[in-house]
Structure 1
Amino acid sequence: MKYRNMLPFVALSVLILTSCDDNKMEWYKDPTHGAVTSSELPLQLAEKISRYKPLKEYLSDPNFKLGIGVGMDEYLGDETTTTIVNENFNDLTIGYAMKHGPMVDSKGNLKFDKVDQLFTKTTEAGISIYGHCLIWHTNQNASYLNSLIAPEVIPGPAGTNLLQNGSFDEDIVPWASWGGGKATVEHSATEGLGNTKGCIKAVTSASSAKPWDLEIQSEAIPVIEGHRYQISFFIKSEGVGAVRLAFEGMNTTYPNIDGKETIPTSNSWQQIVYNKELIGTDIMPAENSDKLQFRIDLGAVANMTYYIDDIVVVDLEGEPTVVNLISNGDFESGTIDPWNSWGNGSSRDISEEGEGVNGSKYAMKLTNPAAGDQIHVAQACYTLAAPLVEGTQYKVSAWVKSTVSNGKIQMQVQDNADFSGPKDVTNTWNLIEWTITAKAGGHTKLLFDFGLVAADYYIDDIVLEEIETTRAVIRASGPTIIEKTDEEKAEIIRDAMEDWISKMVTHCKPYVHAWDVVNEPMDDAKTSDIKTGKGKTDLASDEFYWQDYFLTPKDYAVEAFKLARLYGNPDDKLFINDYNLEYNLNKCDGLIKYVEYIESKGATVDGIGTQMHIAIDSNKDNIAQMFQKLGATGKLIKVSELDIKVNTSSPTTENLAQQAEMYQYVIDMYKKYIPADKQYGITIWGVSDNEKEHVNWIPDDAPNLWDANYARKHAYKGVADGLAGKDVSEDFTGDLE
């Protein structure tokens, strides 16, 4: 290759020496020197660059990490990329495939097949892996994480509630109470469940010890001999309490629950359902009994406060509440047939098991790959067995959620089209409803339109019912939505963080000895604060702000570093990483102070990463000042994602020279201001300017060291010279190699 590149110089010499033009001959002679030798001929820049060794050969410190950031598939499957990486670098960062989003499935399980292939290949090449990254606000499986903290949705029981007052919105009449352990039993207007107003508040005294020491009794309810009944209620307590039901006029009086007298209660709302499944026998009237009366016994624990709401008694032999005109609206069969979808490249499928509403097995999953200009450009359709009857009122209802917080969905009927209008869909389950009057011309299809916002949409428990047939039957209660408390969310997300970090770090620890533990924590505007997703209505489908669910948000990083230390190797190097530190020096200061905060809480941060996605016109003084600030921290410092834009897709020779000079300047300033023992390394972000590497990152530019055809650029020389600490090409001569 180098011999071929020298041919123009050889040919030129031959032409000169054989020319019959004496004047031209004399230009190449010096009377004091004689004929010019090939070693004195000037080398072209391209020839100089071609003579450079692989980049890692210019490292004076074998422990210095000269890294490259590439995609998993490029490194595993593209021979050109693999060759360049293995020849030039001793460290590798995978840009996406080792993050929470691609690693974690809908049930929280991790998929290690690709990662294990990576480890095999890098081990053979003698290349280390930098783990990128453990905790970030994007590239997360946000759908899974949001599902963990989503409100619990409990559908109301079918049938009519036989109680006069089980919701307690206004008072607790006609309920009675007594017992030697009764302190107070009263109406609370502020502690009700979900969206309801009131509830029963009951407090036991210091002497309360037996369940019957505080009893709250229902009215006498007419029942039908031979029918089965079910009683359900919601309860919480200010501590660990105990509750049971006692019956009069029924086939059981004090039913045991799994051999125990009472059910424990806690400070979280829980629904308790007394039926055959819980107590082992059907609740039925005793012989010759036409009344059911029951007591809620709360006296087993002294000095305990209870809240009780949504008490429902239903006759399980009563008429069904709903005649659903949709034959497969709950998808529990594991199929979505006969539903179809089309438009905008959209697709339909059954969800993974366990992704249905309220923990049911399945839902229908609709995927809209791109935002459309109208909502009906993507549709899911169900063809009815018979047309809706003209003039008859119908109600459509469905539970929906999406992978984004700002989704939109619309219900419609065809062929004579009628529309519900767009309805908001968030990343938690919500019930949407629509009432229509069937038109002339026939409605034979029910459709869901979902083309406005790119997202995955989950739809479950779809009901199309005729209002006339259900008007006389009152549903026992609407769906109950139980929001988790801030304390519950904090515990759940902290546990999810441990589950993710423990599995990821433990599996990778034989191969990974450095981690980007917390990525991009700092707020760009409020540079002394960490980021937050609160108040944002347009979160992307992979955005999840872990910090928003810690009671002290700044402690999310404390916990992440402690967990990475706990489950990793004792000598792992743990980094915090952020961008624009050279652009915004206040942000750099904020990150340094945050590291101090993390360590004040008992965690250890080994190093700070500065990404450095910069351009040929970036402020050099700021770059130098950033390195000065970072160098003074005493931490390991890593340039973690270095690339330099030329600000055009068609760079000139001058642009490329400026890029090379800027690459060298960054390395020079890093080596100047970061103490030698704190220079962890520099990672170049991306291999080449090839279009396939820039679909999602810096398109229409040329930021890398190799061009679109994988030839070395001027920037390659800038990096090599920076690493070597000199212009390597000064030692080159025109002699053939």
Structure 2
Amino acid sequence: MKYKKIFPILALTSLIFSSCDDQIMEWEKDPSHGEVTTAELPLELAEKITRYDALNTYTDFVLGNGIGVNLYLEDVVYQKIINENFDEVTAGYDMKHGPMVNSNGELNFTKVDAFIAATKEAGLKVFGHTLNWHQNQNASYLNGLIAPTVIPGASGSSSLDLSGLKDGTLNGWGAWNSGDGITVIDNSGLTGTDQAVKMIASATSSAEYNLQLVSPDITVVQGHNYEISFYIKSDQPGSGRISFEGLDNNYPYKDWFSTDGEWTSSFPTTSAWQQVKFNVNDFQGNTFKMAFDLGKLPSVTYYIDINNINVVDLDAEPEAILNLSSLKDGSLSDWGAWNSGDGISVIENSGLTGTAQAVQMIASATSSAEYNLQLITPSISITQGHNYEISFYIKSDQTGSGRISFDGLENNYPYKDWFSTGGDWTGSFPTTSAWTQIKFTVNDFQGDTFKMAFDLGKLPSVTYLIDVDNIIITDLDASSGSGGGSGPIIVEKTDAEKAEIIDASMEDWISKMVGHYKNDVFAWDVVNEPMKEGGSLRDGNVTDLADDEFYWVKYMGEDFAVKAFKYAREYGNANDVLFINDYNLEYSLEKCDGLIEYVTYIESQGATVDGIGTQMHVSLNSDKSKIEQMFIKLAASGKLIKISELDVRLGTNSPTEAQLAEQAEMYRYIMEMFQKNVPVAQQYGVTVWGVSDNVQEHEYWLPDESPNLWDTNYKRKHAYKGVADGLAGKDVSEDFSGELDN
């Protein structure tokens, strides 16, 4: 279960566990009762408990504890208890994807390396927790991997007549040396719904001019620079060239296409769409033509996206609705950097293309309202009655929140009909580490000008980037041809592409984690909590995801666990012990059955599962008969069985003597049932989840509770005796001789 998060306490006959909540709750004392301490115990019993040996002396299987890494490294008393009583430790949070993986997918091993070194010195083993889970993930990074591809648009309006391509007639275009065919195909362009020119090189094609498509005359202005750009792909590795009629150099062999730093007249093509972009200016007259020469290699089929063949006059006077000049020069002179947080600046090489500019806005550590970080545009002139589309691209270094507010609209702080989140309209929009386009329309102007503000101060310590070139305000009712550059193209990834990307990310994460700790960690929780309560596999179709939730199964299907176990085995040691783990198996026997069936499926697909972990976060009201039935079912699987996260909650942080005794009895019962029903050869061991009831252990996990074996002052509770007696199979204290200390 989550060490970082909090479980809500549910008052049920048998306590049911579910997803953890993200709110930090305060640990409080009952003023009528006081702290949970051994003072609740009768003196004779308390003295008996002090005479017990260390817990791990009462069993031959692995006895572990789920711990906080920071506490272990920093608290001497806490560390001493763990070192003396346990054989193995599980990091409750710090070895998971979320804390290990940064926004670029890189792993930071520093803290866990220190933890491993300290436990190794103490003679403890470390159980790896966990390689694949749907929570405590760097979900922002993972979602960024499968976000739509953002393809830059042209720098301005195109001078090229595409009508003969768009109607499929090729009128005005010269299909010279047409190879095995030059045709226009629907639903084959960049977005999957656009048109593309399909050009097929013949089996004997061997020179560029063996397959050529020549444009109509293109009118130019002498002395101006023109940008030519298009998108192309091929069914196999191919080669292309652009030649010209009307230039001083119609067959250029340098300063055109760069390949690994070498300039060449041709460009390679692959099965992925790529943009080819370059400039020309050596015109002989006022028109020129260009030819797509694709005949160099035989039997290659090429596709050129029609909507994105552009010839743009870079020196034409743009019709700018929004003045970006002081952003582009970094001065912000006519932009208002109101409430600038920890800084508003223009950064080079940080925009959409990686070489474009971006506005960087950093929210301060105390930022809590949208207006705590604001960037205001200059006045923007508009035509009353027209509709204006506003669009821009934004991303953040972690999950963030943005809003656009206005000066000069009837509704300057709109809270509906703007940004849709799950079908609900809201005044704010979320941001992640992936570039996201925000687009909406306004028309309720009070006058002939307005301003808009990027309000990014709602969440503290978030850094935002806004691509400068793609802050675009368009008059939707202006006559055609009046605009400047085209906006970027959004290409959604297919389900197959997402599956491939997420699979690769899983392999990268597991290979690096398991590989790095190959000489230190020999047992892993590979897949954590894959099942629903009724026994079916989780499907990842969750509407209200937490910031750290990411469902691998949603993209990889039921084989996500197959892959996880295969990768853990491939990159780890051949003899590593690999577990699957889940909770509430003692509450829902159907879930227990479903987990065992899933293990059977995983192994039918060629992976090996060594063990099954049952968490056992139980209460005094948990059904003891179901607990025994669960152990019987798990043992019948033939796998190693581990109690992976055991604690017994009481529903209070100030229990009575009777409740402490019942807690001890439940711990003892579970230890006895584990050993009675699981054959010795299948008993991997038991991990108790947490050390004490001390407040520092319960800021995030089980606040207002008393589930552990030591009290708030790190004194042994009655539960300590219950565990020891259960492990030993008898009341150990009956063998004590001599007088107890008074």
The reply to whether TM is greater than 0.5 is yes
Query: Are 2:418 and 1:399 equivalent residues in the alignment?
Result: no
The correspondence for 1:565, drawn from 564, 569, 572, is 569
Query: Are 2:259 and 1:291 equivalent residues in the alignment?
Result: no
- CA shift in 2, pair 1:167/1:652, >3 Å: farther
Report the equivalent of 2:412.
Answer: 418
Following the alignment from structure 2 to structure 1, what is the Cα–Cα distance between the partners of residues 276 and 559? 36
Q: Which amino acid is the alignment partner of residue 661 of structure 1? A: E
Query: Are 2:45 and 1:51 equivalent residues in the alignment?
Result: no
The correspondence for 2:352, drawn from 331, 334, 357, is 357
1:516 is paired with a residue whose SS is strand
1:357 is paired with a residue whose SS is coil
Report the equivalent of 2:188.
Answer: 191
The correspondence for 1:727, drawn from 698, 711, 731, is 731
Following the alignment from structure 1 to structure 2, what is the Cα–Cα distance between the partners of residues 331 and 614? 62
- CA shift in 2, pair 1:390/1:269, >3 Å: closer
Query: Are 2:280 and 1:315 equivalent residues in the alignment?
Result: no
| Aligned-residue offset at 1:735 | 0.4
- CA shift in 2, pair 1:144/1:341, >3 Å: farther
Within 5 Å, give how 1:212-611 maps onto structure 2. Answer: 212-256=209-253, 257=257, 258=262, 262-275=266-279, 283-287=280-284, 289-309=285-305, 310-320=308-318, 322=320, 324-325=322-323, 339=337, 341=339, 356-359=351-354, 364=360, 379-383=372-376, 396-401=390-395, 409-414=402-407, 418-421=412-415, 422-424=418-420, 425=429, 427=432, 428=434, 429-435=436-442, 439=446, 446-448=453-455, 451=458, 458-461=464-467, 463=471, 473-525=482-534, 527-529=535-537, 531-534=538-541, 536-550=542-556, 553-611=557-615
| Aligned-residue offset at 1:691 | 2.7
Report the equivalent of 2:36.
Answer: none
Following the alignment from structure 1 to structure 2, what is the Cα–Cα distance between the partners of residues 206 and 625? 69
Following the alignment from structure 1 to structure 2, what is the Cα–Cα distance between the partners of residues 352 and 665? 63
Unpaired segments ≥5 residues, structure 1: 1-41, 276-282
Following the alignment from structure 2 to structure 1, what is the Cα–Cα distance between the partners of residues 725 and 402? 57
Following the alignment from structure 2 to structure 1, what is the Cα–Cα distance between the partners of residues 354 and 135? 26
Choose between structure 1 and 2 for higher RCO, CA contacts under 8 A separated by at least 6 residues: 2
- CA shift in 2, pair 1:202/1:459, >3 Å: same
2:283 is paired with a residue whose SS is coil
Following the alignment from structure 1 to structure 2, what is the Cα–Cα distance between the partners of residues 588 and 183? 61
| Aligned-residue offset at 1:56 | 1.3
Query: How does the TM-score come out when normalised to structure 1?
Result: 0.81
| Aligned-residue offset at 1:222 | 0.7
Q: Which amino acid is the alignment partner of residue 563 of structure 2? A: E
The number of residues matched between the two structures is: 669
Tell me if the contact between 1:663 and 1:718 (Cα under 8 Å) persists in the aligned partners. yes
Following the alignment from structure 2 to structure 1, what is the Cα–Cα distance between the partners of residues 623 and 347? 50
- CA shift in 2, pair 1:517/1:349, >3 Å: farther
Following the alignment from structure 1 to structure 2, what is the Cα–Cα distance between the partners of residues 383 and 365? 12
Following the alignment from structure 2 to structure 1, what is the Cα–Cα distance between the partners of residues 614 and 645? 7
State the structure with more CA Rg: 1
Report the equivalent of 1:634.
Answer: 638
2:311 is paired with a residue whose SS is strand
Farther off after superposition, 588-597 or 196-205: 196-205
- CA shift in 2, pair 1:192/1:349, >3 Å: same
Unpaired segments ≥5 residues, structure 2: 1-41, 421-428
Q: Which amino acid is the alignment partner of residue 539 of structure 1? A: L
Following the alignment from structure 1 to structure 2, what is the Cα–Cα distance between the partners of residues 226 and 627? 84
Report the equivalent of 2:108.
Answer: 111
Following the alignment from structure 2 to structure 1, what is the Cα–Cα distance between the partners of residues 555 and 490? 20
Identity %: 45
Farther off after superposition, 414-423 or 103-112: 414-423
- CA shift in 2, pair 1:450/1:470, >3 Å: farther
- CA shift in 2, pair 1:387/1:301, >3 Å: closer
Q: Which amino acid is the alignment partner of residue 539 of structure 2? A: T
CA distances 1:133-162 after superposition (whole Å, capped 9, x unpaired): 112112111222222222221232222211
Following the alignment from structure 2 to structure 1, what is the Cα–Cα distance between the partners of residues 331 and 580? 47
| Aligned-residue offset at 1:166 | 7.7
CA distances 1:537-593 after superposition (whole Å, capped 9, x unpaired): 32222222223333xx22222222222222222322111111122222222222222
| Aligned-residue offset at 1:189 | 2.7
CA distances 1:672-705 after superposition (whole Å, capped 9, x unpaired): 1111111111111111222332222222222111
- CA shift in 2, pair 1:340/1:100, >3 Å: farther
- CA shift in 2, pair 1:324/1:577, >3 Å: same
1:554 is paired with a residue whose SS is helix
CA RMSD of aligned residues (A): 3.7
Tell me if the contact between 1:610 and 1:640 (Cα under 8 Å) persists in the aligned partners. yes
Farther off after superposition, 425-434 or 695-704: 425-434
| Aligned-residue offset at 1:47 | 2.1
Report the equivalent of 1:5.
Answer: none
